[in-house]
Amino acid sequence: MRKSGAIVELVNALRCLPGVGPKSAQRMMFHLLQRERDGAARLATALQNALGQVSQCRECRTLTESPLCDLCASPTRDRTLLCVVETPADVYAIDDAANYGGLFFVLNGRLSPLDGIGPQELRLDHLENRLRSGEVREVILATNATVEGEATAHYVAEMARHFGVRPSRIAHGVPFGGELEYVDVNTLSHAFKGRQEL
C-alpha cells in the first residue's frame, strides 16, 4: 500500500528521537493518528511553543525560557562551585538526586576528535571566561564514564588548573545495592582506583 506524504513525513520526523527506528516511529504514528488525536494536537502545540520560547541560559547553557535559568538566577546557590556536565539532562539528574548547592556548566557534548568535536565546537571559551573571572574555586567534573567523557574531564581539569581552580571528579564505581559478581570489569577497576579511606 502506498503511504501518503503526510504519513511518511510524520514517521520520518518521529525517527529523529533517540532510540526510535522505522517500526517504532510507525507504531507512534498509528497511535497518534488513530487513538490520540487530541494528544497529538497538544504535543504539536507544546513542541511549537517550546521551540519558540526555550533557549540556552547565558551562564550555564542549560535549557530555559529566560535569559538566566532558575539555578543561575538563585541567590542561594554557591557561586564558587561549578559542576561541569555533558547535557541539560545531567543538570536535572544531579539537581534532583544530589545534595549539590553550586552552579552548573553544560558542555552540550563532549570532546570527540574522531567526530570532529573539539574545544571550539563545545564553545569551551565560554567556560574559560567563567574560570578566568576568579569567582569559581572548584570545578566538579561530572562527565560520563566513557573514553570521550574521561578525555573531556581531563581537558577541563587542565583548563581549571591553569586558572588556579581546583578540579575534582565525581566518583564512579559500584552502584548502591549492586552485587560485585554482576559489576563489569571496567567499573570494578575504576572503583578500586577511586577508593577512599574510611
160/194 Cα distance (integer angstroms):
21
What is the span of the domain harbouring residue 76?
Answer: 63-169
Distance between CA atoms of residues 34 and 135, nearest Å: 55
pLDDT of 150 strictly over 70: yes
Q: pLDDT above 70 covers what percent of the chain?
A: 93
The Cα 61–Cα 135 span in angstroms is: 18
Paired with 117 in beta bridges are 112
Does residue 10 lie within any of the structural domains?
Answer: no
When divided into structural domains, the chain yields a total of 1
pLDDT at position 195: 65
Query: Is 52 inside any structural domain?
Result: no
Sequence-separated (6 or more) residues with CB below 8 Å from residue 37: none
Q: What's the chain's average pLDDT?
A: 89
DSSP helix/strand/coil, 155: helix
Residue-level pLDDT at 114: 84
Category of 173 on φ-ψ map: left (φ > 0), alpha (ψ -120 to 50) or beta:
left
Asked if the structure places residue 143 within a domain, the reply is yes
pLDDT of residue 196: 62
State the cell numbers at 120: 571550539
Q: What's the average model confidence in pLDDT over 43-70?
A: 94
Q: Report yes or no on 56 lying in a domain.
A: no
What confidence score (pLDDT) does residue 101 get? 92
Per-residue pLDDT, 187: 75
> Which CATH number is 144's domain given?
3.40.1360.10
Is 192 among the domain residues? no
- pLDDT tens for each residue of 90-123: 999 888 877 889 999 999 999 888 888 988 888 8
pLDDT value at 172 more than 70: yes
Residue 31 lies in a domain: no
pLDDT tens readout for residues 56-65: 999 999 999 9
In this prediction, residue 156 carries a pLDDT of 95
The sign of the CA dihedral 159, 81, 93, 142 is positive
Whether 34 maps to a domain, the answer reads no
Q: Which residue has the cell 570532529?
A: 116
